[in-house]
Structure 1
Amino acid sequence: MSPAAPSNQKARTILQAARKVFLEHGFSAATTDMIQQQAGVSKSTVYAHYPTKEKLFIAVVEAECESFLSGMQRIEFQPNGVEALLHQLANTYLDIVLSPVALAQYRVLVGEAPKFPELAHRFYQAGPRAMIRQATELLSRAAEAGELDFGGLSAETAATAFANLVRSELQQHYLLHPEARPSRAQIEQWAETCVFIFLRAFAAKR
């Protein structure tokens, strides 16, 4: 089992408590006392599993990213199905980045990045870059099947462009309007627009 998913029940309890405290208060304002009280364990138990607040925050971030990306990892390329693949990628990614937890986590990480750049870097690698790696693999298969043509660009560049296009407007809007929630229809309409634009750029000419 990965470090992001501890097998010990007390470690999982601490991680769940830390997740709640960090998302409510941010990293700087959160204290070990808050986390210990939320978890219902002693401070020594917290430190036995997570020696520093930074290590605990990293564990929370990586566990959340692992949970979010599990849906992406189940997506597979099917021959003659690149449009359906892109729709699935776009909708799944939007469901991730627009979830209340992901938006709250993103706000915390952006706010803390100047003080704790390593924390932000770990999130970037475990979240956005992991999604792009998964999309790169899938889009490479579509290109190998002759369904996409990147025109000399790499599959990674195309995947990065797609990911940025997908999350751009809606993520920006809901990061700055925390009281609002997107509808299913809104998400699907934006996904449709992103797929249309991407295919206009990279669909292979038949």
Structure 2
Amino acid sequence: MSKKSQNTVETFDEERTVGRPKSSEKRLQILKSASDLFLSHGYKLTSMDAVAKSSGVSKQTVYSHFANKDSLFNAVIELKCITYQIDSSNLNLSAAPLPDILEEIGIRFLHLFTDPDIIDMYTLIIGESRSNAHVSKLFYEAGPERSLQLVTDIIYTHPDVALAQMSAKEAAADFFNLLEFDFHMKSILHLPYNMPPSKFKAHARKTAHKLMSIIQHASH
């Protein structure tokens, strides 16, 4: 795990570990080890035995938290989203104007997209996709598809917007296309890209305003 990513997760852990049961601590320990192994060896070559050994727990303990490798991989991706507060429990923003909500969630996604572990995960999945379509499907469902649904729900349920659910989903797809620009493709190809944290707010705000124009046009 990269130093930047590790620091982020450690900060998150400190905020969430107070009074946490040991079983929860072991679950997080397993997820951290699994994340490192998936990134180092890929999905196919990472076994539940290896995860147990790396985590310092028994294989039975791993299976008590995760039914199989698929559910473990899904949880690794989900943990990244939670780390950057990109989940429904951290996005209770319905009272705020929609442009402000989109800007805020845009900033969070930009932090996620530029996380070195996420960039490496994209590269890994692309590399395995031809020989293992199953892992591509898992990654898409746990990451991009879940994120798309999250933004769709935010747009669809906001009181200031009157869009059909399908139109809200199309707007959510536009949101990510605008937000990712070309830096996301460059990052997963390991090409230099110009998207430092200092630019996140301005880029997220521009994305939010562009999307509002699209939504307003679709509403008429």
TM-score, normalising length: structure 1: 0.72
Match of 2:178, SS state, is helix
Compared CA separation, residues 130 and 47, structure 1 to 2 (3 A): closer
Report if the CA contact (8 A) 2:183-2:194 is conserved.
Answer: no
Compared CA separation, residues 64 and 113, structure 1 to 2 (3 A): farther
Compared CA separation, residues 63 and 201, structure 1 to 2 (3 A): closer
1:189 counterpart (202, 211, 216) = 202
- CA distance in 1 between counterparts of 2:25 and 2:105 reads 33
Partner residue, 1:77: 94
Identify unmatched segments of 5+ residues in structure 1. 1-5
Partner residue, 2:150: 134
Which letter does structure 2 place at the counterpart of 1:136?
T
- CA distance in 1 between counterparts of 2:64 and 2:163 reads 50
Identify unmatched segments of 5+ residues in structure 2. 1-21
Partner residue, 2:190: 177
Partner residue, 1:101: 117
Compared CA separation, residues 188 and 169, structure 1 to 2 (3 A): farther
- CA distance in 2 between counterparts of 1:51 and 1:195 reads 39
- CA distance in 2 between counterparts of 1:45 and 1:152 reads 41
The number of residue pairs the alignment matches comes to: 196
Compared CA separation, residues 66 and 83, structure 1 to 2 (3 A): closer
Report if the CA contact (8 A) 1:72-1:89 is conserved.
Answer: no
State the Cα distance separating 1:186 from its structure 2 match.
2.3
RMSD between superposed Cα atoms in Å: 3.6
Report if the CA contact (8 A) 1:166-1:191 is conserved.
Answer: yes
What are the superposed Cα offsets for residues 145-202 of structure 1, whole Å, 9 maximum, x if unpaired?
2xx5669971111111112221232211222237878422222232233223223333
My pick for the range that moved more, 51-60 or 129-138, is 51-60
- CA distance in 1 between counterparts of 2:181 and 2:139 reads 18
What are the superposed Cα offsets for residues 90-130 of structure 1, whole Å, 9 maximum, x if unpaired?
11221122222222222222222233323222222222222
Match of 1:203, SS state, is helix
Partner residue, 1:87: 103
1:18 counterpart (34, 42, 52) = 34
Q: Is it true that 1:61 corresponds to 2:77 in the alignment?
A: yes
Compared CA separation, residues 128 and 170, structure 1 to 2 (3 A): same
State the Cα distance separating 1:71 from its structure 2 match.
7.3
The percentage of aligned residue pairs carrying the same residue is 24
Compared CA separation, residues 153 and 65, structure 1 to 2 (3 A): closer
